[in-house]
Amino acid sequence: MEDLIYNVEQKWLKTLFKVCRDTFSDSFLPSHDETHHYRVWLIARELISELGTQDIHFSETDIEKILIAVFFHDVGMAKNLDKEHGKISRDICENFFKINPEKKIRGLNEVYEAIEKHDDKEYKNNIHLHKDPKNLFSILSVSDDLDAFGIIGIYRYAEIFLMRNININELPDRVLDNITHRYHFFQKNYGSLTSFSEKQEARYLTIKTFYETLQKQLTDKANSSSIRYGPLGVINFIIQFVLERKSSPEVISKHFIKNAEDLFVKEFFKQFNLEILSTHPRNNSLLQCYFTKKSSSNSSSM
């Protein structure tokens, strides 16, 4: 399995990463740019390997379809932040293969369909009812869902929901409802992968605890000083430095590691920075060419 994954990455990764990076070149959306797509691929790759230990094996074409779907699934957000961005992402993917017909592979219609439908996080449509763990929609959706957990997930939800003009007082309820659907879908499809499932449960509990604590802070009207402390302090600093000043998550995390008054805020950005660094595409030898000192210092990606 690892050899097949390696072969597919050698064939596709640089091309797909560049298309994704170029699509976001005129957009400031750190939560969903090419670094998000790369992290989703890391999760999908781990999931493929975990399934391999259960004698569930993928062909090279299966892995190609997953990688293509992953790197196109959210590119529509460079054009439109709405939940219906999947249709735009599909159009961009279809256009890529119209321009590059020599790159077409078998099963692209399944790829297009998975891209378009992936962001229905209530999973009400019959397309979501699959018993096959190799199903492309399930692999793509779950890999995307799992990137919404952990410390990075906390940031991603805050950025995109606030950019969609969701009021900060509504943020905890909206996030908690959304992550519950994602977690249940993951457990239903891949909960039997014990060690992998335990790892993802811990990341789910991290984001759940954060937004439950934020919810309590927001309802405590008497404690107005909390604006710079705890989860509310984290959210307010994301609003101030990312949404308003367009500073990159990497820049603000380093700033608050050094300058935060509150230990909770300081520790949050310390862990956030560690997650950014450990999952960054510059760590991949195939992609290092995109991260020279100049481009890295100017990057607004997480």
Q: pLDDT tens digits for 90-124?
A: 999 999 999 999 999 999 999 999 999 987 766 66
pTM: 0.92
What integer pLDDT is reported at residue 293 of this predicted model?
54
- For the chain, give the DSSP string: -HHHHHHHHHHHHHHHHHHHHHHTTT---TTTSHHHHHHHHHHHHHHHHHHHTTT----HHHHHHHHHHHHHTTGGGGT--STTHHHHHHHHHHHHHHH-GGG--TTHHHHHHHHHHTT-TT--SGGG----TT-HHHHHHHHHHHTTSHHHHHHHHHHHHHHTT--TTTHHHHHHHHHHHHHHHHHHHHTTSHHHHHHHHHHHHHHHHHHHHHHHHHH-TT-GGGGGSHHHHHHHHHIIIIIIT---HHHHHHHHHHH-SSHHHHHHHHHHHHHHHHT-GGGSTTTGGG--HHHHHH----
pLDDT of residue 302: 63
What does the pLDDT look like over 278-288, one tens digit per residue?
999 999 999 99
225 or 41: which carries more pLDDT confidence?
41
Nearest to 214 by CA among 261, 267, 264: 264
Distance CA 210, CA 132 (A): 33
Alpha-carbon gap, residue 89 to 95, rounded angstroms: 10
Q: How much of the chain, in percent, has pLDDT values that exceed 70?
A: 92
Q: How confident is the model at residue 291 (pLDDT cuts 50, 70, 90)?
A: confident
Residue with tokens 């307010």: 236
**Domains in the chain: ranges and CATH:** 2-298 (1.10.3210.10)
pLDDT at 300 over 80: no
pLDDT of 81 higher than 90:
no
pLDDT at residue 266, as a whole number? 97
User: pLDDT tens digits for 228-267?
Assistant: 899 999 999 999 999 999 999 999 999 999 999 999 999 9
Q: Give the whole-angstrom CA distance, residue 195 versus residue 179.
A: 20
Q: What is the band of 296 on the pLDDT scale with cuts at 50, 70, 90?
A: very low
User: What is the pLDDT confidence band of residue 2, given thresholds at 50, 70 and 90?
Assistant: confident
Residue tagged 């956030």 (tokens): 272
Alpha carbons 211 and 172: distance in angstroms, whole number: 5
Is pLDDT above 60 for 271? yes
| 299, pLDDT greater than 70 | no
- Type of residue numbered 178: N
What is the rounded average pLDDT for all residues in the chain?
A: 91
Q: How far apart are CA 23 and CA 25, in angstroms?
A: 6
Q: Does residue 23 surpass a pLDDT of 50? A: yes
**Rounded CA separation 93/297 (Å):** 30
Distance CA 61, CA 231 (A): 44
Q: What is the pLDDT of residue 121?
A: 62
Has residue 136 got a pLDDT over 80?
yes
**Amino acid 297: pLDDT:** 42
